[in-house]
Every structure is written in structure tokens, then in C-alpha cells.
């Protein structure tokens, strides 16, 4: 009887967590559990240096169409002992608002040397690094990289994720030839699987046929 009760409670808990998402959204792990994640905004390891508003659980949420497209890309990479690794996916508007509030506080430069050493914080808006709206909030944009499954190390892309600078532009020529090839491999496969790249960030891709092109969601990540 105890086992039945426990199983029932587990089922109720599972259903409740999945039903909390708006229609059309899924937990990526329910579609493809092989895709790795490091949800940076759930941790202190990001350009602000603290967990971001709206990130309450270490889970990746995306539109179902995006999840299916990522699954196809992942199958391509697995053949070469590589895996996608997600840094960010769906991002609630409250998180974007947190970024905006932080950007206006010019005294808070805790992670400047790691993420924006050459950009004055006062110019983050003007240079396009911070904005009041984000494609992530529509649920079909992802920030990601590749991991070598033989070494379990991230593939060298020439700059860190979320680095504010020209070295993060996909076609930047300051990086090495190998780093350029790694970026182009990621870009090529993502393009083949229905994603559109962003010209200022090698890690940023949006599903071309996104299901919610004009809707900015604000439900929390939990």
C-alpha cells in the first residue's frame, strides 16, 4: 500500500510540473535527455554574478518545435562524439527586466573583467549587449555550444559564452583557424536544422519558424 501511495504521489508531482507550462512549451529533457545543459542564469556564473530573476530550477524550457529541431541537430553531433550544451533557452521577461535594472546601476561591475573588460558599462545599451526585449522570451531562441564527449570538455570556440566584445562575433578573425572551424561546424548544423544565427554572438540561434514570433512570455523557470 505504501508503494502504491508513493508511486501515486510521484505521478501527481510529475504531472503537476509538466502541466505548469503554457501550451506549446516543453522541458527539453523530456524530448532529448542527451543534450547537456549549464543554465548559467540559475547560478552565480554569469555576467551579473548572481542568479537571475525567474530562474528557480535548473531546467531547460523551449517551444516544442525548438526541442524537436534541437533533437535533430543533436543526432548529427552524436555521430562525431559531440553533444550540444545549452546555456540558456526560454527566458522570462522578468529576467530581461533584471538585466535592464542591473545595466542602469553603473556601480555594479562585479564581473566586468570576465565578461565586458573593454566595454564601459554605460555603453551596454548603445552597443546592443543589453535590451528591454529578448527573443529568448518568445521560447524559440537558444544559447549553446558543443562538448567533446570523449574528453567531456567544451569545444574551443575562441571566446567564452556571453562575452561582450567583437571576439564573440561568429566571423571574427582574431581567433585561431581551429576555433573558426568549430564555430562554423556549430553554425552549419544549426542552419541545416532550421535555426537562424545571430551575427554578434556565435552561441545564439533562433528557430526560423518560431511558433510565438510576437509573444513575450513571463512564466518562471521551475
Task: Report pLDDT digits (tens) over 78-126.
Answer: 999 999 999 999 999 999 999 999 999 999 999 999 999 999 999 999 9
Helix (H, G, I), strand (E, B) or coil at 220: coil
Catalytic annotation, pick one of 64, 201, 210, 222: 201
| Cβ contacts of 73 within 8 Å, gap of 6 or more | 84, 189, 190, 192, 193, 195
Question: What letter would DSSP give residue 48?
Answer: S
Q: Which residue has the cell 527566458?
A: 91
The dotted CATH code for 24-207 is 3.30.1380.10
Task: Report pLDDT digits (tens) over 175-213.
Answer: 999 999 999 999 999 999 999 999 999 999 999 999 999
Which among 94, 85, 183, 93 is positioned nearest to 142, based on CA atoms? 85
Decide: 66 and 140 in contact? Cβ < 8 Å. Answer: yes
Bridge-based pairing state of the strands 36-37 and 82-88: parallel
User: Is 201 considered catalytic here?
Assistant: yes
Confidence of residue 17 (pLDDT cuts 50, 70, 90): very low
| Residue 6: per-residue pLDDT | 45
| Residue 173: per-residue pLDDT | 93
| Residue 20: per-residue pLDDT | 86
Q: Read off the pLDDT of each residue in 31-40 and give the average, rounded to a whole number.
A: 98
| Cβ contacts of 118 within 8 Å, gap of 6 or more | 165
Question: What letter would DSSP give residue 52?
Answer: P
What does the domain layout of the chain look like in residue ranges?
24-207
Amino acid at each position: 500500500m505504501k508503494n502504491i501511495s508513493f508511486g501515486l504521489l510521484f505521478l501527481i508531482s510529475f504531472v503537476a510540473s509538466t502541466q505548469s507550462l503554457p501550451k506549446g512549451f516543453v522541458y527539453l529533457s523530456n524530448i532529448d535527455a542527451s543534450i547537456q545543459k549549464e543554465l548559467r542564469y540559475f547560478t552565480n556564473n554569469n555576467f551579473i554574478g548572481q542568479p537571475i530573476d525567474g530562474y528557480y530550477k535548473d531546467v531547460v524550457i523551449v517551444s516544442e518545435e525548438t526541442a524537436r529541431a534541437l533533437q535533430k541537430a543533436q543526432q548529427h553531433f552524436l555521430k562525431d562524439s559531440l553533444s550540444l550544451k545549452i546555456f540558456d533557452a526560454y527566458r522570462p521577461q522578468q529576467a530581461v527586466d533584471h538585466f535592464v535594472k542591473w545595466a542602469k546601476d553603473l556601480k555594479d561591475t562585479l564581473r566586468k573583467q570576465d565578461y565586458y573588460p573593454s566595454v564601459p558599462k554605460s555603453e551596454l545599451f548603445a552597443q546592443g549587449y543589453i535590451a528591454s526585449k529578448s527573443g529568448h522570451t518568445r521560447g524559440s531562441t537558444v544559447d549553446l555550444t558543443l562538448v567533446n564527449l570523449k574528453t567531456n570538455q567544451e569545444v574551443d570556440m575562441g571566446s567564452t559564452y556571453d562575452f561582450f566584445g567583437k571576439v564573440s562575433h561568429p566571423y571574427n578573425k582574431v581567433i585561431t583557424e581551429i576555433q573558426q572551424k568549430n564555430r562554423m561546424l556549430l553554425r552549419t548544423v544549426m542552419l541545416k536544422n532550421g535555426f537562424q544565427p545571430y551575427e554578434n554572438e556565435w552561441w545564439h540561434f533562433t528557430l526560423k519558424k518560431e511558433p510565438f514570433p510576437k509573444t513575450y512570455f513571463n512564466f518562471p523557470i521551475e
